[in-house]
Amino acid sequence: MRRAEILAIGSELLLGGRLDTNSLFLTDELAALGIEVRWKTIVGDDEADIMDAIRVAGRRAGLVVMTGGLGPTGDDLTREAVARVTGRPLRRHADTVKGMMQRLAARGRTPTAAQMKQALIPTGAAVLDNPVGSAPGFCLSWKTCQLIALPGVPAEAKAMFTKEATRFVAEPLQTRAQARIERRLLHTFGIVEADLDARVGPLAQSRRGVRLGLLASPLGVTVSLTVCGGSSEMAALEQAARAVREELGGLVYAEGTETMEDVVGRALTTRRMTLAVAESCTGGLIGHRLTQVPGSSNYLDRVLVCYSNAAKMELLDVPKMILARHGAVSPEVAAAMAKGVRERSRADVGLSVTGIAGPGGGTAQKPVGLVYVGFDARGAGLLAKEFRFHGPRDTIKLRASQAALNLLRQWLPLAQIHKT
């Protein structure tokens, strides 16, 4: 199987303000073509640095896909770097010049010297047309590897790779059938990364060729199982995934691209239940996530953001005495909020969350990150659970929303409501 490196070029990718989404797209596309991405490198707009990165990538990978540095400005240096490394002088590509002049003429303009720079291509390289932009890409063979240059603009990179570059990198169908990359993603919540590794690590290691990866985020920990090979490796992958499911049970809430809100929405739909939500510290985040799912209007009745004590009393009928005795961040108030939003809406299920997202507002008894989730449903009664999260404000809010949706997933069967 061919090994590839993705080389993302652009100083903006090193400054923290721009994500390298091209690499994510290319990794998936190359895997589908039977090509394994082994390295990803980001390099700034410096010609010497770009040349060094190309040399390193060319020594270890059979395919190097570069993105960025093909525009008309002075800091677009990919062409020059490739030309110097490979010893192939830049030549003006006649068809590119012709197309550029025609497009600009239609707007009553003539190309500038900077724009004409985009028509320079290393000698002997195949030109990759740009279906949605002006800068063409190119493909050439150098020593034992293949170099492909794509624009850095994500829409242009995707269109060019899909429509132009794949014909240069696709493996023969027979080869792809014999060796391909497959991955299974199992999303968990409620277990820390170290404990998860201790439980599933041996299961993956006992299966031939299965590589285990764990990715922690505020939404939980994702178990990634990957194989590269043929039918025996694919069978090992399915065995490993099945073993992980059996080991973790309900800690696995979704697989693949499915989200917690997808799972909750399906559960509500299956049971023909309606939901009302009362949010305090999450500020509407739960409602936002639920309404990202198409068709959520079939089960989501309303979402109320009740931040102040006055709002909790006025909109949710939370008793003043409970607020005074226990405080807004307490299991008693969480339960009262869930009950209030359900009764006010006449939904089947009420869900609530209250907590301290920080960075201020915490005390020794009630620190930042303390969160309570409330649940109320006919047949289940009032339930509340405590969580303690760490991190900045936005992380605590995201974790609180995930915890609330996860408890909804777990507690829904207790409601025992099924409309006819």
For 268, what's the count of Cα atoms within 13 Å in the CB-facing half-sphere?
28
3-175 and 260-415 share one fold? no
**Architecture of domain 260-415 in this structure:** Alpha-Beta Complex (3.90)
Architecture of the 3-175 domain: 3-Layer(aba) Sandwich (3.40)
Cα separation, 285 vs 289, in Å, equals: 6
Query: What is the residue whose two structure tokens read 């707009």?
Result: 45
Report the alpha-carbon distance of residue 382 to residue 337 in Å, rounded: 10
Q: How far apart (Å, rounded) are the C-alpha atoms in residues 227 and 240? A: 10
Domain boundaries of the chain, sorted by first residue: 3-175, 179-255, 260-415
Please state the pTM of the whole predicted model.
0.75
* pLDDT (tens place) for every residue of the chain, 420 residues total: 689 999 999 999 998 778 899 999 999 888 878 788 999 999 999 999 999 999 999 999 999 999 999 999 999 999 999 999 999 999 999 988 888 888 878 888 888 888 889 999 999 999 999 988 889 999 999 999 999 999 999 999 999 999 999 888 865 444 444 567 788 999 999 999 999 999 999 998 888 889 899 989 999 999 999 888 888 889 999 999 999 999 999 999 999 999 999 999 999 999 999 999 999 999 999 999 999 999 999 999 999 999 999 999 999 999 999 999 999 999 999 999 999 999 999 899 999 999 999 999 999 999 999 999 999 998 788 999 999 999 999 999 999 999 999 999 999 988 865 454
Assign domain 179-255 to its CATH architecture. Answer: 2-Layer Sandwich (3.30)
N-term to C-term CA, the chain: 55
